[in-house]
Amino acid sequence: MSLSRRDFLRYGMAAASTAVASGGIDLSPVEAAATSLRIKEAKAFPGVCPYCAVGCAQLIYVKDGKIVDIEGDPDAPHTEGALCPKGSSTYQLSLNERRITRCLYRAPGATAWEEKPLDWMMAEIAQRVKKSRDATFVETVKVGANEVPVNRCEGIAWLGSSVLDNEENYLIAKLARGLGLVNLENSARLCHSATVPALGATFGRGAMTTNLIDVQYADVIMPTSNWAECHPVSYKWVMKAKERGAKIIHVDPRFTRTSATADIWVPIRSGTNIVFFGGLIRYAIESKKYFHDYVVAYTNAPLLLDPNLKTPAELDGLFSGFDPARRSYDQSTWKFQLDADGYPRKDTTLRDPNCVFQRLRRHYSRYTPEMVERVCGIPKELFLKVADIYCSASGPDKTATASYALQLNQSTNGVQQIRALCMLQLILGNIGRPGGGVVALRGHSNVQGATDFGTLYHMLPGYPAAPIQGPHPTLTDYLEKTTPKGGYWVNNPKFVVSLLKAWWGPAATKENDYAYDYLPKREKADAYSHQHFLVGMYEKKVKGFICMGQNPAVDSPNAKMARQAMRNLEWMVVVDLFETDTAAVWKEPGVDPKSSQVEVFFIPGAPAAEKDGSITNTMRMAQWHVKAVEPPGDARSDAAFIVDVGNRVKELYKDSKPKKDRPVLDLVWDYQPQGPKKEPNMELVLKECNGYATDDIVDKDDKPLYKKGEPLKTFGHLRDDGSTACGNWIYTGIYPEEGKNLALRREKSKEGDYLGHGWGFVWPANRRIIYNRASADPSGKPWSEKKKLIWWDAEAKKWVGNDVPDFSPTMAPDAPRAKDGPFKGISGTDAFIMNPHGLGQFFASIVDGPFPEHYEPFESPTKNLLSKVQNNPVAKVYNIGDLNKLGTPDKYPYILTTYRLTEHHAAGMSRHVPWLSELFFGHFAEIGPEMAKELGFQNGDMITVETPRAKIRVRALVTERIKPFVINGKKVYQVGIPWHWGYQGVMKSARGDITNDLVASLGDPTTFIQESKALLCNVRKEA
């Protein structure tokens, strides 16, 4: 899509009027002239900022085949034409002298790159993939007495990326699984992997519940991350809420620009959020400020639990079923009491001592304001003030929004920290309602999409689990064990069979269980994550590595170990725009290149402005960007690389007879590569993700529904008989007709549609606020006029309102529980349709407990004051000897927390962009004045920060923003260090020591996300 001349003029006018509105000297004529000179007669293409997941819509101006300017798109309802410094500098991702445009090859042991032709590189890469696959492939294993096909290759790891497009991640997921790869990840593992099980277990889907635009209608907003600096453009909605009178409470270890805009700043010690949220839940219950009617109708609070379930209040820190030898829980007592129909018994008075509500109350009874003060370092009076304000934003007329990012994720209690926040929102009735919700602020542009599309070891596109050899040897076993008896996931067989049809087409038949055997089977749950496969590389079990758009040399925990791990590989492919630290790992400063035999292939990639595809922002909105210019030299889209690898590997296997090669040979892989660079047709990929009929299909009345090959309009039309193929069911509807790409829609918000339904496509089914059935009371009426969103129209017999209903559109509020069909188990009041009982879940089975319980970070300045169990008893500790030593407070007395900045992003791109790199003087650590004085250093001094894993040299930035905490009566200092720097970068200020070298190899037990927000360190001044 390109814009008309009229559109172009309109945008030019908008830019000029923005200048007027900004105040001060009226420069508008000058600016307008400059703008019109620069973009005069340029063609504008729709773009999306490739940095963070706010997903600012851009216009890319092109003249004579060159990008001349990139600006924010003023029509975008969620960003309204704004861009932050990163978005404003995306121009330099395309036009940049450091951009690598030719293929580079580093032979084993060589001391320099060599330029090689693209064709030679691709042929060699395909050979390496085949060689390592053949050498490490496991076709079957014995499970008990049975020989189970597992079709698994553990010798190659593939790191996709949350800066790659949805379609590219889909292609990686498909090809990697086709090859049998199980070591499959993207950067979401390291930033937001805890989000998915936490939100999923509580609400039903692992995604942000609301929409950024809606934040303006909150009465109270509680950011628990540095929202203003890390997701700058979206912060406008917080400020709009403030203008309307909302209170802002910022909960963060550091005082930041977010704190500066807040009414209250709540300093909290890193890693103690469960105590804070638990304290708020306790306060809401004891002060009766929770939303009683919402809780009774829409949550599992009334359901009765097995009396044999014991919680940490009774077992001093543990839940019943703990096995210390295996460091895991037997969950047999974590269950409900069932009635004759197999449904949980309930007590709607909430008085039964075994109802979830009373168990929750007892569990959090220990989380008193005094305990919050002693553990979190938040003074009791401050806590009580905040509790009163926050918990008062509940009930029919009020709502509060809470947001979070990595402070909650990156912890050995990551899932439970987020769960606790979700439960707070649930008890206050803040989900599914305007001005409510949980805002999961994703970092990279496409963290949401890369997660949705399954470039993660544990799940397939659309969130079905990746099968495990023991419990899932056959399709029947798999579907039986992964399909619940109620809730919308009863449709799982339709999603899975349609996915298998999309991948293996005609070779997936009813007779062979739709080629289920072809899907690689995991050995166990505790394997293949980012941290797992780095250890595998270190131990030389993983031989080859494909790394696209990510920089694990810098962004991995225990990054020094990670870099050695990569040097231990036989071969590595890096696809990127610049020579990243990962690409240059063999010549890292201080390392003799000859000491590493890793063979490295560098393939130049293309940024979003140079390719077609969609990116899903943090609020589940897919936006399509259009290729504005040709990538230079050998550079091409990541999709072209993936499709080319697939075609070449298939060619290498073409005469192969063994059964183990059928998954590769039968993989449907025709994306019509075009032109000299073999760019695939991305709309074809999108159509496959959307789903299509594999045969003529009729409806229940025998009327024609689809002709063979037609795209599906809704996931409600998916079948489990092989007549539909669908790459990702949650995206069905994004491409409902041939040539109609709803991700490309760019319609301004219309009067009365503040959520902007005409812009992009939001999964599922363009619903902007999910669980919105809960915005109406059980009878279907809005809880209040002020907070109405959707409601039941009794005359029309359907749900109507300001959003697409996240509910069966014609299920009446008094409908009994469905006995069958797609909404099996759901009644007219079950607002959380994805959960088995249709209810928001306070009680949910997570591997480390059904209720979030506080455990100290593995490196902590204090004993756990809640129980005798110091750390999460089932957390992952990687066994790599001295490389993973942990620090104690006697030797490492300071709390260290890590974070990021507005002007830099993640570990790679921004350090190659001059406009951004010149904005910081270099790497630094923030330290409070009192601590600096005690240690005898001044602002700007060079200091060493040390953990048992590594030491780094940085400049001291002595600032009042960093305060000490009083923990259990003792003062403890903290240090804050951003983590962007590495040895590659455009200028001296862009290069520096690697913060993640300091981080240990630890993981949350559900997702194996690392603990990089709460460490212990020592600090000293350089001599």
Least spacing, CB of residue 91 vs ligand SF4, in Å:
12
Nearer to ligand SF4, 54 or 537 (CB): 54
Tell the smallest beta-carbon distance from residue 442 to ligand SF4 (Å): 10
Question: Pairing between strand 1015-1021 and 544-548?
Answer: unpaired
**Is beta strand 894-899 parallel, antiparallel or unpaired with respect to 974-978?**
parallel
Q: Closest Cα partner for 742 from 166, 169, 210, 207? A: 166
> What is d(CA 53, CA 233) in angstroms, rounded to the nearest whole number?
10
CA distance 525 to 458: 8
62 versus 916: smaller Cβ distance to ligand SF4: 916
Residue 982 per-residue DSSP state: B
Query: How far apart are CB 93 and ligand SF4 at their closest, in Å?
Result: 11
Least distance between ligand SF4 and beta carbon 581 (Å): 21
Residue 918: CB minimum distance to ligand SF4, A: 17
Q: Which is nearer to ligand SF4, 84 or 712 (CB)?
A: 84
Question: How far apart are CB 902 and ligand SF4 at their closest, in Å?
Answer: 8
- Strand-pair category, 761-762 with 798-801: unpaired
Tokens of 413: 């209690």
Give 240 or 677: the residue with its C-beta nearer to ligand SF4.
Answer: 240
Shortest distance (Å) from residue 57 CB to ligand SF4: 9
The helix/strand/coil state of 966 is: strand
Q: What span, in angstroms and rounded, lies between the C-alpha atoms of 972 and 320?
A: 34
**Which residue's CB is nearer to ligand SF4, number 54 or number 831?**
54
Residue 366 · residue 313 · CB < 8 Å: yes
233 or 386: whose CB is closer to ligand SF4?
A: 233
Nearer to ligand SF4, 182 or 230 (CB): 230
CB 162 within 8 Å of CB 188: yes
Least spacing, CB of residue 763 vs ligand SF4, in Å:
19
For the residues of 202-213, what is the DSSP string, one character each?
A: HHSSSS--S-GG
The distance of closest approach from Cβ of residue 233 to ligand SF4 in the complex, given in angstroms and rounded to an integer, is 4
Contacts of 431 (CB under 8 A, 6+ apart): 203, 209, 425, 437, 438, 771, 774, 840
354 burial via Cβ count (<10 Å: 0-12, 13-18, 19+): middle
Kindly state the smallest distance separating residue 88's Cβ from ligand SF4, in Å.
7
Instruction: Determine the longest span between alpha carbons in the chain, in angstroms.
Output: 84
Helix axes 530-538, 559-567, angle to 10 degrees: 50
Q: Which is nearer to ligand SF4, 449 or 857 (CB)?
A: 449
Minimum CB distance to ligand SF4 smaller for 73 or for 219: 73
Check: CB of residue 454 under 8 Å from CB of residue 496: no
Show the beta-strand stretches assigned E in 49-145: 57-63, 66-72, 103-106, 114-116, 137-143
Which CB, 15 or 640, lies closer to ligand SF4?
Answer: 15
CB 463 to ligand SF4: min, Å: 25
Q: 324: helix, coil or strand?
A: coil
DSSP state of 851: S
Looking at residue 993, the DSSP 8-state letter turns out to be: -
* Residue of minimal Cβ distance to ligand SF4: 87
Nearer to ligand SF4, 231 or 282 (CB): 231
**Residues recorded for the chain:** 1023
Contacts of 765 (CB under 8 A, 6+ apart): 714, 715, 733, 804
**Distance from C-alpha of 137 to C-alpha of 130, rounded to nearest angstrom:** 10
CA-CA distance, 424 to 402, in Å (whole number)? 9
By C-beta, is 54 or 977 nearer to ligand SF4? 54
What does the alpha-carbon distance between residue 407 and residue 417 come to, in Å, rounded to a whole number?
A: 9
Q: Which is nearer to ligand SF4, 258 or 841 (CB)?
A: 258
Q: Rounded to an integer, what distance in angstroms lies between the CA atom of residue 815 and that of residue 799?
A: 13
Between CA 408 and CA 421 the distance in angstroms is 9
- What is the nearest approach in angstroms of ligand SF4 to the Cβ of residue 761? 18
Q: How far is the CB of 928 from ligand SF4 (least distance, A)?
A: 29
The least distance separating ligand SF4 from the CB of residue 237, rounded to whole angstroms, comes to 12
Tokens of 666: 């039968």
Nearer to ligand SF4, 717 or 746 (CB): 746
Chain-centroid distance, C-alpha 443: 8
Distance, CA of 790 to CA of 622 (rounded, Å): 23
Q: Is the dihedral of CA 358, 362, 364, 368 positive or negative?
A: positive
**Least Å distance between CB 82 and ligand SF4?**
7
Dist. CA 178–CA 512, nearest whole Å: 16
Smaller CB separation from ligand SF4, 174 or 904: 904
User: Minimum Å distance from CB 511 to ligand SF4?
Assistant: 48
**Cβ of residue 80: shortest distance to ligand SF4, in angstroms?**
11
Q: Which residues lie closer than 8 Å to 233 by C-beta, 6 or more apart?
A: 54, 56, 72, 79, 82, 83, 84, 87
Of 213, 245, 217, 756, which is closest to residue 433 (Cα–Cα)?
217
Residues that bind ligand SF4 (CB under 6 A): 49, 51-52, 54-56, 83-84, 86-87, 231-233
Cβ count within 10 A of residue 725: 27
For ligand SF4, the closer CB: 443 or 711:
443
DSSP characters over 426-455: HHTT-SSSTT-SEEE--SBTTHHHHHHTT-
- Of the pair 82, 194, the CB lying nearest ligand SF4 is at 82
Q: Which is nearer to ligand SF4, 129 or 609 (CB)?
A: 609
As a whole number of angstroms, the distance between CA 599 and CA 132 comes to 13
N-terminal to C-terminal alpha carbon distance within the chain: 60
Minimum CB separation of residue 48 from ligand SF4 in Å reads 8
Helix locations, 400-540, DSSP H? 406-409, 414-427, 447-452, 475-482, 492-504, 530-538
